[in-house]
């Protein structure tokens, strides 16, 4: 089959998030399918951006074909980001005929945070006679309302709600990363039989004999902490408000006199604010380090004592979550410090970490001290449970097969 996967923010291991489209494409390629990913040339969650000079370009990158749409850069989630979204959708509509005739897809997947790319996806699918799949990462417009505080009467939210409802009605199948989102989708126009839950997962590259390199600055800071026998806690991912890194900084402030070292690795729109907060609190026990490749990140994770993931306390997480970062943590075989209140709890399911209350530095401090009080063997066993859980339930090879099986399933 030919598969066209549209995701404005798609990345790769060397570019950085978002990685799900890349992993699915690699697994579908192993099955003998031809996959092209359509993405914007700029994404706020990538560590590196592709170099695009023309209106659009088709190129092979890291073993996957990408069709890049040139889009403007932006900061934050304001008007400049909305403009980037509209540019991506408009240019993709203009290229819909070319993509339909050149790629000749059997399946067209609109897979993005926002629902507007359903329009070019539907046009391409109609021209090619392909099945149309709407893949939901985040519930829009519920996300900007509940996470960003936007009014439900804001014109952008009203329009987005209409588009979300249209996408649920128009798609042949709806794939959700969120395990508990079906009722919400049915309430907004989706037939229940369309729903498929396919969470995030882990992709294992061909084994190599070489140990992935850890960049010099990162290595120096890690070795300094090890010499001082500090409990090393890592965070790997985007520096964005929703990931609640401010709580981790406040926790570091509470533990400034304890043998605990915090290392944050990544990029994102909140990086400058976090650097200022570090200076304001004079946190000598916390380092903010540049983005590294997926291989180097995994190598660093495996040398940490524990890994942190936290999100703001928001009601939208009642639909469940499937954070790629958490699955990467668990695969690294390290215990997780988990501060998320959601409809599901993968850490509790796997028994692979210690949970704290979100947005609560005292609770996170207590969790870290509990972790520090455990023996290395106890922490290793906790981390091993997480790795086993991922290998049994979250392998992208299995998930990619489940995705296509669900899409190709005929309506009963």
Give me Rg for the CA atoms of the chain. 21
Domains within the chain, CATH numbers bracketed: 2-204+395-408 (3.40.50.2000), 216-393 (3.40.50.2000)
Question: In the structure, what pLDDT confidence band is assigned to residue 385 with cuts at 50, 70 and 90?
Answer: very high
**Mean pLDDT in residue range 158-162:** 94
- Alpha helices for 67-215 (secondary structure H): 79-94, 96-103, 118-128, 142-146, 155-170, 182-187
Q: Within 10 Å of residue 162's Cβ, how many Cβ atoms?
A: 12
Return d(Cα 295, Cα 211) in angstroms, integer. 9
Q: Looking at the predicted structure, is the pLDDT value of residue 206 above 80?
A: no
> What's the pTM value of the predicted model, to 2 decimals?
0.83
Q: What is the pLDDT of residue 207?
A: 46
Return d(Cα 255, Cα 337) in angstroms, integer. 15
**Mean pLDDT in residue range 132-154:** 90
Segment holding 38, helix H or strand E: strand 34-40
8 A C-beta contact, residue 189 and residue 168: yes
Encoding tokens for residue 341? 């209140």
**Mean pLDDT in residue range 83-91:** 94
Averaged pLDDT of the chain:
92
With 0-12 / 13-18 / 19 or more C-beta atoms within 10 angstroms meaning exposed / middle / buried, residue 239 is buried
Q: What is the pLDDT of residue 209?
A: 46
**Mean pLDDT in residue range 159-179:** 96
Q: What is the pLDDT of residue 179?
A: 95
**Mean pLDDT in residue range 219-239:** 95
């Amino acid at each position: 089959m030919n598969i066209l996967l549209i995701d404005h923010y798609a990345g790769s291991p060397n570019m950085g998030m978002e990685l799900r489209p890349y992993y699915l494409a690699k697994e579908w390629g192993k099955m003998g399918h031809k996959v092209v990913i359509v993405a914007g040339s700029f994404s706020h969650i990538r560590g590196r951006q592709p170099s695009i000079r023309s209106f659009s370009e088709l190129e092979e990158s890291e073993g996957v074909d990408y069709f890049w749409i040139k889009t403007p850069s932006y900061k934050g989630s304001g008007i400049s980001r909305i403009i980037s979204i509209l540019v991506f959708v408009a240019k993709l509509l203009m290229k819909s005929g070319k993509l339909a005739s050149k790629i000749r897809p059997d399946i067209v997947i609109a897979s993005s945070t926002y629902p507007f790319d359903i329009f070019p996806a539907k046009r391409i699918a109609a021209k090619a006679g392909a099945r149309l799949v709407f893949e939901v990462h985040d519930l829009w417009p519920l996300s900007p309302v509940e996470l960003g505080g936007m009014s439900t009467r804001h014109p952008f939210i009203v329009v987005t709600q209409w588009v979300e409802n249209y996408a649920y009605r128009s798609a042949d199948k709806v794939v959700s990363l969120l395990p508990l989102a079906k009722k919400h989708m049915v309430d907004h126009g989706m037939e229940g039989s369309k729903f498929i839950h396919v969470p995030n997962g882990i992709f294992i590259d061909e084994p190599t004999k070489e140990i992935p390199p850890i960049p010099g600055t990162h290595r120096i800071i890690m070795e300094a902490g090890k010499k001082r026998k500090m409990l090393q806690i890592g965070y790997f991912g985007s520096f964005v408000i929703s990931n609640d890194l401010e709580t981790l900084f406040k926790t570091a402030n509470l533990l400034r006199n304890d043998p605990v070292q915090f290392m944050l690795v990544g990029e994102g729109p909140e990086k400058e604010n976090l650097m200022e907060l570090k200076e304001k609190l004079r946190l000598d026990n916390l380092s903010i380090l540049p983005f590294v490749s997926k291989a180097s990140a995994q190598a660093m994770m495996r040398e940490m004592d524990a890994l942190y993931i936290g999100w703001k306390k928001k009601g939208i997480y009642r639909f469940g979550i499937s954070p790629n970062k958490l699955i990467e943590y668990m695969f690294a075989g390290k215990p997780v410090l988990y501060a998320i209140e959601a409809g599901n709890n993968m850490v509790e399911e796997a028994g692979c970490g210690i949970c704290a209350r979100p947005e609560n530095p005292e609770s996170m401090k207590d969790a870290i001290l509990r972790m520090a009080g455990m023996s290395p063997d106890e922490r290793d066993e906790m981390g091993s449970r997480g790795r086993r859980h991922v290998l049994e339930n979250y392998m992208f090879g299995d998930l990619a097969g489940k995705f296509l099986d669900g899409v190709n399933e005929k309506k009963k």
